[in-house]
Amino acid sequence: MIQDAKYQFPRDFEGYGQQGRDAQWPGGARIAISLCLNYEEGGEMTVLNGDPHAETMNWEKSGGPPFVNARQPNVESEYEYGSRSGIWRLMRVFSQFNYPFTLYAVGQALEKNPAVGKACVAAGHEIAGHGYRWVDFKDWHPVDEKEDLKKGIRAIQNICGVSPKGWYVGRGSPNSTGLVYEAFKEMGIPLEWEADCYSDDVPMWLDVPSALSGDETKQEGLLHLPYSYDRNDMKFHLAADGFGGESWYQYLVDSFDMLYAEGGKMMSIGLHARIVGKPGRARALQKFFEYVSMKEGVWVTTRAEIAQHWRSKYPYKPSTS
């Protein structure tokens, strides 16, 4: 595993302290809900993509041994469910409530089904980056990982006609966050947010390592919008501490109720077309939307809108200032 000091961001254990920070959401909203739809189908591990084995993660029988140097049709068809059926069911559910989401788009997945990216843009959803391939980058050389990032950006531009404003790696390396910052900078695209962070319930600025800024006399910041695994639908596939439809719905409600009572917080929910796009789970998501739609002061929005608000309300200040 390569760990390049150039790409290392500092840790912060103190955050906003005991008093926290009130996000002061627009219109006096008590909570901002960020719905993140991971679109990975077609970019996963498979020998068809030149990989040594089939995908093992996030399908209905996760955890079993992969087929090595051979296709694994069951895995392939599970992923195809997301692109063929699940994505369109979720689009209908979101449309029913007029809720926007942020698409974490894998470039190769969009290339396999361009209609998904085009439909999301037409419906007003945000297109963010999630790599060109959906693979584990922990052992990748930084040069190769950065090229994957750029290839993913170009795929979004070519298919969706927009440039991503934010990024989420997921299965990253120690260098990933810095590589995201560097790739956007080299391509001349503003990086408005990054999501590989789980350390708070509101956005936060991190100081960019001086080696990445290009000017050691000028400190730059990278805005992190925290993501969440605890509410992620991937936990349907975990043998231990996993979810059923009703328990996931109740956990979403309990999370919402706590954050709503506190006020000024952000709630991220990670979704996948092949997971929550299944009928019973989609109904649980629909029930949650019905629940929050009856509450006052709920801002369901994209991560780009959250980043824009935070930059306006809390502009970057170097931690040493």
Contact 202, 267 (CB under 8 A): no
Q: Give how far Cα 268 sits from Cα of 31, 73, 221, 265, 306, Å.
A: 11, 32, 22, 10, 11
Q: What is the pLDDT of residue 284?
A: 95
Q: How many Å apart are CA 40 and CA 130, to the nearest integer?
A: 8
Parallel/antiparallel/unpaired status of strands 204-207 and 193-194: unpaired
Q: What is the pLDDT of residue 239?
A: 59
State the greatest distance between any 2 C-alpha atoms of the chain, in Å, as a whole number. 56
Q: How many Å apart are CA 118 and CA 110, to the nearest integer?
A: 9
Q: What is the pLDDT of residue 59?
A: 76
State the amino acid at position 198 in one-letter form.
Y
Q: What is the pLDDT of residue 126?
A: 98
Q: What is the DSSP letter of 58?
A: S
Q: What is the pLDDT of residue 293?
A: 98
Q: What is the DSSP letter of 278?
A: S
Q: What is the pLDDT of residue 238?
A: 75
Give the burial class of 251: count Cβ atoms within 10 A of its Cβ; 0-12 exposed, 13-18 middle, 19 or more buried. middle
Q: What is the pLDDT of residue 60?
A: 80
Q: How many CA atoms lie within 13 A of 100 on its CB side?
A: 19
SS3 23: coil
Superfamily covering domain 22-313? Glycoside hydrolase/deacetylase (3.20.20.370)
Q: What is the pLDDT of residue 211?
A: 74
Per-residue pLDDT of the chain (321 residues; tens, 9 = 90+): 889 989 998 889 999 999 999 999 999 999 999 999 999 999 998 999 888 888 887 778 777 788 888 998 888 999 999 999 999 999 999 999 999 999 999 999 999 999 999 999 999 999 999 999 999 999 999 999 999 999 999 999 999 999 999 999 999 999 999 999 999 999 999 999 999 999 999 999 999 987 786 666 678 999 999 999 999 998 888 755 666 768 999 999 999 999 999 999 999 999 999 999 999 999 999 999 999 999 999 999 999 999 999 999 999 998 765
Q: How many Å apart are CA 96 and CA 288, to the nearest integer?
A: 13
